Structure formats: C-alpha cells, structure tokens
C-alpha cells in the first residue's frame, strides 16, 4: 500500500492563536486555530486522506475498508488506534489539568488514559509551563489550594525554548503556558480533567467545567522525576517511539517501515521529498505523512526537520 498525506482535524479552543495557519500552512477558515490533529482516529476529530484513490476518506474509514494490517503487527489486538499527534498553539495559557492512567480512564470514561510527550516548536522569551509540583504536598492541601486559587504557588514552573522535550506521564498535573507552540505525541485519548482555568468562560458565557473530584482521585502530588531526551531519539515508552530527524545541509535520512509498525512523519520545518517504492511525495512544514507498515525502505531528502513516530514492540 502506498504512503499518503493526511489533512488534520482542527480545533478552535478559546486559548488558541493563528500561527498554525499562518506559519505551518494548516488550512482553516476560523479566527482561532488552537490545535491541529495531524494523525488521529479519535471520534472527536479524525485525520482525512489527501490525494490518491482514498482521497477524502477518514483514517478510520480506511481501516474499516481495507483492514488493519497496514498498521503493523504491534497494533494487532488493540481495541483502538494507539496514538494521536497534534500541534498546539497556546496564545493564552491552557487550563491546569491532569490526565488519568488507563485503569482509571477505562473504569470511569470508557476510554484509555493519556501518556504524552511535548516537543517545543517555538516559545516566546520567558515562556514557561507547569509540570507537577515544586515539592510533595498532601491531598488536603491540594484541595484547599484549588478552592482558594493558590494552586500556582506550589507548581513546578519549567521555562522552555525551541527544541525542548518533555515527557508527561498520566497523573502528572500540567499546563502549557502562553506563547508556546508544541507538537504533542500522545495515547489516543481525549480525557482531560480540568483543575483550574483562570476564571475563563466558554462560548456560552459560562465558566468552563472543572473536574475537581476526578483530579483529586488521580493527581500525583509530587515533583516529577527529571527527564532527559536524546538529541535524535527523543522518547521511548510503552506507547510510542519518537525520533527527531534533520536532513538539512545536503543530508538524507534512510529508514524502513517494517512489518511491526506504520511510520508517522510530521514536518516541523522546511520542505522535503519522501521516496518509497519508487514513488515520491513532497512534504512541507506542517504536513503529515503516513507510511504503512511493511512498505519497506524509504528516504527523506531536502532541507527540513521532522518528528518520526513508530509503535513499539512493547505496547500494552
């Protein structure tokens, strides 16, 4: 089966900006483009195939039509497509939130929890995010600080710059700060428990829903362990393996899509050409390419940078 481009699902959450359209070429007619779901089979927004004989079909429709073999052996037996990849433009800070683990999410939400990683595409000077707590606190203090709006006083503030990588296990309190663009690779879940939202209101003029009970149930009340990313191999976990690839200065990247996993290629800078089985596809900044499992050798050339994701052998 041939590789194919994907058109993202777009989200207009109130904290978003317009950089994904202006700088990354994501096609969208609205004023706010907060998220672009570049690789998604989630019911809340599916990627759509661009070009070829399956043009216009969603990725889930394609799986239903031709079967799941092109996802690879590491995806066999899974109830759902394993991952979701998105760009996030935080013109304003996101809510302080937490994601449950699989056990809690399956029991209470009938879907999986969320392990995720962030690659910082860009960040304004002085931009920061929250990840866990600055020190361990008790459950009662956590509850009291939510109630009296002093939670930020005990959060672990992380200043970020372009190229930084963070790993966010489930049960870790977190929030993306103002002026940060992020590529997020995550489990295929949309379960988010909102803890604090700066008093904002939604489109209906009412405060956005908070999930205090659930957050008290699942949040790990400690400082997170330090995470160290490699320069090229960024993250390995039970759900995804992610690499950073740079083909500038005349370099090429050669790899293989074997029978174990499909390969997701997300262009984060520049222009390139991906060649596999004698067919070549141009890929520009902001575009997403899906290479089916067992496609064999492929090559990337041009002047560009990418995030390349596979499903690992050890996925649960």
Active site residues: 194
Which run of H or E residues covers position 103? helix 102-109
Report CA-CA distances (Å) from 150 to 30, 92, 135, 147: 35, 19, 15, 8
The pairing of strands 4-7 and 35-39 is unpaired
- What tokens does 240 get? 């995804």
Structure tokens at 80: 């759902």
Which tokens is 85 given? 């990849």
The closest of 7, 81, 83 to 38, measured between CA atoms, is 7
- Determine contact, residues 293/72, Cβ cutoff 8 Å: yes
- 205 burial level (CB within 10 Å; 0-12, 13-18, 19+): exposed
How many secondary structure helices (H) and strands (E) does the chain include?
Answer: 5, 22
């Amino acid at each position: 089966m041939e590789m194919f481009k994907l058109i993202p699902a777009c989200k207009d959450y109130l904290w978003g900006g317009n950089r994904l359209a202006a700088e990354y070429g994501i096609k969208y007619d609205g004023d706010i483009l907060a998220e672009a779901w570049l690789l998604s089979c989630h019911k809340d927004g599916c990627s759509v195939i661009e070009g070829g004989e399956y043009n216009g079909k969603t990725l889930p429709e394609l799986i239903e039509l031709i079967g799941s073999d092109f996802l690879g052996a590491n995806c066999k037996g899974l109830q759902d497509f394993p991952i979701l990849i998105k760009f996030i433009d935080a013109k304003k800070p996101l809510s302080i939130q937490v994601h449950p683990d699989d056990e809690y999410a399956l029991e209470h939400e009938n879907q999986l929890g969320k392990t995720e990683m962030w690659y910082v595409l860009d960040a304004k000077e002085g931009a920061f995010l929250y990840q866990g707590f600055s020190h361990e606190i008790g459950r009662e203090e956590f509850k009291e600080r939510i109630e009296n709006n002093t939670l930020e006083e005990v959060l672990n503030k992380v200043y970020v710059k372009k190229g930084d990588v963070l790993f966010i296990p489930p049960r870790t309190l977190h929030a993306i700060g103002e002026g940060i663009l992020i590529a997020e690779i995550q489990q295929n879940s949309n379960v988010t428990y909102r803890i604090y939202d700066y008093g904002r209101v939604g489109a209906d003029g009412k405060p956005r829903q908070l999930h205090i009970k659930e957050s008290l149930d699942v949040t790990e009340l400690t400082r997170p362990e330090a995470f160290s990313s490699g320069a090229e191999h960024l993250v390995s976990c039970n759900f995804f393996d992610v690499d950073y690839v740079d083909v500038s200065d005349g370099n090429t990247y050669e790899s293989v899509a074997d029978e174990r996993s499909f390969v997701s290629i997300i262009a984060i800078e520049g222009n390139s050409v991906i060649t596999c089985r004698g067919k070549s596809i141009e890929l520009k900044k902001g575009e997403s390419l899906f290479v089916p499992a067992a496609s064999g050798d492929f090559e990337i050339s041009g002047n560009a940078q990418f995030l390349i994701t596979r499903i690992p052998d050890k996925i649960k």
